[in-house]
């Protein structure tokens, strides 16, 4: 099953970049898993989404005390209009656009990682760092990967 992992967030805003960093960790894994780290979801991603069987959107949760757990949930098909503000959108709007343009809507999941702080910084907090490491392991298990950074 061909899978696309889209991790998004602002790497200059501390923990907001945790989704981006998770996607970076999967960039050179196995041929059936393609990873795309990006700063925001844009309409241009619809073409890549149309070419896979499954897409996983990875993002940071808003900071909270106590911090949130890892959340991996299936996105159910809804008839949302493709609504974009500026150059970014939500996963559901992007899925709707993919359906409209390419007639395809792969299985889709949202994977949310815990955060603690989103100030101006390129560093992750301890909470986000732990969440990132746990997220990598959880995604490996979900995708049926058994480790190995070279993917081969």
Q: What are the tokens at 58? A: 């990875």
Q: How far apart are CA 136 and CA 131, in angstroms?
A: 8
pLDDT at 79 over 50: no
Architecture of the structural domain at 3-143: 3-Layer(aba) Sandwich (3.40)
Average pLDDT over residues 80-87: 47
What is the spatial distance between Cα 148 and Cα 127, in angstroms, rounded to a whole number? Answer: 24
pLDDT greater than 70 at residue 49:
yes
Q: How much is the average pLDDT of 32-60?
A: 95
Find the mean pLDDT for residues 39-43.
Answer: 93
pLDDT range class, residue 146, cuts 50, 70, 90: very low
pLDDT at res. 118: 85
Q: What is the mean pLDDT of the chain?
A: 86
pLDDT of 87 reads 42
Q: Where are the beta strands (DSSP E) in the chain?
A: 3-8, 33-38, 54-60, 71-74, 107-113
* Residue recorded with tokens 């970076």: 24
Least confident piece of the model among 56-65, 108-117, 129-138: 56-65
At residue 151 the predicted structure's pLDDT band, cuts being 50, 70 and 90, is: very low
Domains in the chain: boundaries: 3-143
Give the per-residue pLDDT at 66. Answer: 75
Range with lowest mean pLDDT among 25-39, 67-81, 88-102, 122-136: 67-81
Report d(CA 148, CA 135) in Å as an integer: 15
Measured CA distances, 113 to 31, 103, 148 (Å): 25, 30, 22
């Amino acid at each position: 099953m061909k899978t696309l992992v889209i991790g998004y967030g602002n790497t200059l805003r501390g923990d907001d970049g945790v989704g981006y960093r998770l996607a970076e960790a999967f960039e050179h894994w196995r041929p059936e898993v393609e990873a795309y780290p990006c700063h925001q979801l844009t309409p241009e991603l619809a073409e890549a989404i149309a070419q896979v069987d499954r897409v996983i959107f990875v993002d940071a949760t808003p900071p909270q005390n106590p911090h949130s757990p890892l959340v991996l949930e299936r996105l159910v098909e809804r008839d949302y209009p493709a609504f974009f503000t500026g150059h970014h959108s939500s996963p559901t709007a992007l899925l709707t656009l993919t359906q409209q343009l390419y007639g395809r809507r792969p299985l889709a999941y949202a994977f949310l990682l815990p955060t603690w702080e989103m100030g101006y910084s390129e560093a992750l907090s301890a909470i986000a760092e732990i969440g990132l490491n746990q997220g990598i392991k959880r995604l490996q298990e979900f995708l049926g990967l058994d480790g190995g950074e070279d993917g081969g």
